[in-house]
Structure 1
């Protein structure tokens, strides 16, 4: 405890991503539940994401950030899994259209690949794995899914990644048409980090 004001000092934790959209989203999700965390950005080298699953890649990123900074590290790995494509793009979601891709390039390619697929067969899930690594002590990861379907054209200008072409189950909107707080309440990342919060509290002594 801080002897001057009786307030416990913040626990510094690095967010193992350089994606500003993702940093903002993770802070919105985690800060209300864990107000004593100081969530700092990561500026170290990016590891090779050589895992064969979202969970493996999330742990690779968290371990790299923890090793570089000496701080506990939180990471996520996420993407979209289309049922008729056998779960692809999956872990290749961010580079689906090639090395010089943009978000729009990726979802434009996906729409082209599904051009002749009927609506009932366009089911998909956003998938996220959230991981925590405490240097020298602890590592764990969890999984969250957000079910929906792939639209026939992009809608909305919010969000990022595949949000403009994904419509969640029970909604008539795309993820990109949702307000940030609406998306935060139900997204794959929200579900993964909700599952990780008890692990964070236990592993960090919060």
Structure 2
């Protein structure tokens, strides 16, 4: 499948989540010289369907998405696969985070189900981590895979209106406070969250590789 890509596009992101696109633009744009936000577009804006995510790990699913979008656009493509891993649930929802309630992308239903499952779990045992695998797929080259995580704990009730997914119930370890007073990632500004998040860490690690790629693309032959 090939698609028509708008002029000026330099990078495509394999996501249909508007919140994730905004977050990744905020992370990448300041780190990659010359990469304007409008030069980064999503698979959704190109009407590229999402591939079946049948990998058994975050890295495998991110690689599937990045390769499919790169082949459709013939441009460098970035994908991530991320999710919440809850210790008392043996690492679940994990790669099923976005469809934990049975319907892909229903953040509210996923969050309610997880809170119900953890209803009787006491504070010391509500530890969890967000994990992100980020992949850069380049036409004619080998993909780059980077994985990072952010430890924390889960609240008993949602707090905050920012972010998406499980952000309203996740308090990062670096922000935690006695008595459960720490901010959730949904109570932080985008800049505060991106500075410590699993996705922010992964994409900051990927940014120098991406910057070098884009510099080589624009240098005189």
User: TM-score, normalization: structure 2?
Assistant: 0.85
Q: Whole-Å Cα distance in 2 between the matches of residues 35 and 100 of structure 1?
A: 35
How far apart are residue 39 of structure 1 and its match? 1.4
**Pair 1:101–1:133, CA change in 2 (3 A):** closer
Task: Give the one of 169, 173, 177 matched to 1:169.
Answer: 173
Task: Give the one of 113, 116, 120 matched to 2:117.
Answer: 113
List per-residue Cα deviations over 1:48-90 (Å, max 9, x = no partner): 0111111111111100100111101011111100011111000
Task: Give the one of 153, 161, 179 matched to 2:189.
Answer: 179
Q: Whole-Å Cα distance in 1 between the matches of residues 138 and 206 of structure 2?
A: 13
Q: Which residue of 2 aligns with 1:35?
A: 33
Q: Does 1:86 align with 2:90?
A: yes
Task: Give the one of 15, 19, 29 matched to 2:17.
Answer: 19
| Secondary structure class of the residue paired with 2:30 | helix
| Secondary structure class of the residue paired with 1:32 | coil
Q: Whole-Å Cα distance in 2 between the matches of residues 100 and 130 of structure 1?
A: 20
| Secondary structure class of the residue paired with 2:52 | coil
Say if 1:66 and 1:134, in contact at 8 Å, map to a contact too.
yes
Provide structure 1 residue ranges, at least 5 long, that are not aligned to the other structure: 1-9
Q: Whole-Å Cα distance in 1 between the matches of residues 149 and 14 of structure 2?
A: 20
Say if 1:138 and 1:203, in contact at 8 Å, map to a contact too.
no
Q: Which residue of 1 aligns with 2:155?
A: 151
**Pair 1:55–1:199, CA change in 2 (3 A):** same
Q: Whole-Å Cα distance in 2 between the matches of residues 23 and 154 of structure 1?
A: 23
Q: Whole-Å Cα distance in 2 between the matches of residues 72 and 101 of structure 1?
A: 25
How far apart are residue 35 of structure 1 and its match? 2.8
Q: Does 1:50 align with 2:54?
A: yes
Q: Whole-Å Cα distance in 2 between the matches of residues 164 and 132 of structure 1?
A: 29
Say if 1:11 and 1:36, in contact at 8 Å, map to a contact too.
no
How far apart are residue 180 of structure 1 and its match? 1.1
Cα-Cα RMSD? 1.5
Moved over 6 A (4+): none
User: TM-score, normalization: structure 1?
Assistant: 0.90
Number of residue-to-residue matches in the alignment: 197
Q: Whole-Å Cα distance in 2 between the matches of residues 198 and 157 of structure 1?
A: 32
Q: Which residue of 1 aligns with 2:67?
A: 63
List per-residue Cα deviations over 1:104-130 (Å, max 9, x = no partner): 110111111111111111100011111
Q: Does 1:132 align with 2:139?
A: no
Q: Which residue of 2 aligns with 1:3?
A: none
More strand by share: 1
